[in-house]
Amino acid sequence: MRLQGDIRVQIEEKYNDIYKDLTQDNGIRKPVFDSYGRVFVLCSCLGFEYNKKIPLDKSKKLFWTDSLNNYNHAITILFSIAMLNKGEVNYKILSNDEKIIKITEKYANGGMKVLIDEVLEPYIKEDDEKFYLDYSNSSFLEKEVLSFIRYEMKSSPFD
């Protein structure tokens, strides 16, 4: 399975710095994730599991779908979320990559809210309606994110 490589994945603009902070080495902290795509897939899963599908208000183009094609499991997860979007299996969606991305963008937006509420809140600062990580208080950030992911993995979102 592959996605068309020419689709731009969008996120809520106010979360752009969180995506960057979680994926880039800033000299103080090592990145928690190695790509925007992995953060996006995690947030899509969280949004799906917590039934939080939030339309994008102010969107920002973040990365190309082609970067997801290196991670077969990511594609499988996004396809599964899109297929189960309305509570019933919809195989027809698999022929429309743009719809798959639009659906998972909404789940990723909801999932980022879950990630903030459940894990990142003590590490988050808000400035001019944009969120970013506060590195002065982030000594356990990686451990808490990974512990949360491990906890969430115990229950599959596809049960």
pLDDT digits (tens, 9 = 90+) for 21-51: 899 887 777 788 889 999 999 999 999 999 9
> Is the Cβ–Cβ distance between 103 and 81 less than 8 Å?
yes
Domain for residue 59, yes or no? Answer: yes
Query: What are 49's two structure tokens?
Result: 């599991």
Domain for residue 62, yes or no? Answer: yes
Q: Is the pLDDT of residue 142 over 60?
A: yes
Domain for residue 60, yes or no? Answer: yes
Q: Is the pLDDT of residue 138 over 70?
A: no
Structural domain range at position 82: 8-153
pLDDT at 157: 52
Q: Is the pLDDT of residue 100 over 70?
A: yes
Residue 80: HSE in the Cβ half-sphere, 13 Å Cα cutoff: 15
Query: Average pLDDT, stretch 63-69?
Result: 87
Report the alpha-carbon distance of residue 83 to residue 79 in Å, rounded.
6
Domain for residue 158, yes or no? Answer: no
Domain for residue 109, yes or no? Answer: yes
pLDDT at 10: 96
pLDDT at 68: 85
Domain for residue 3, yes or no? Answer: no
**pLDDT band per the 50, 70, 90 thresholds, residue 144:** confident
pLDDT at 1: 65
Q: Considering the chain, what is the average pLDDT of its residues?
A: 87
pLDDT at 72: 78
Rounded percentage of the chain residues whose pLDDT exceeds 70: 94
Number of domains in the chain: 1
CB burial readout 76-98, b (16+ within 10 A) else e: ebbbbbbbbbeeeeeeebeeebe
Domain for residue 2, yes or no? Answer: no
Domain for residue 90, yes or no? Answer: yes
Report the alpha-carbon distance of residue 35 to residue 91 in Å, rounded.
28
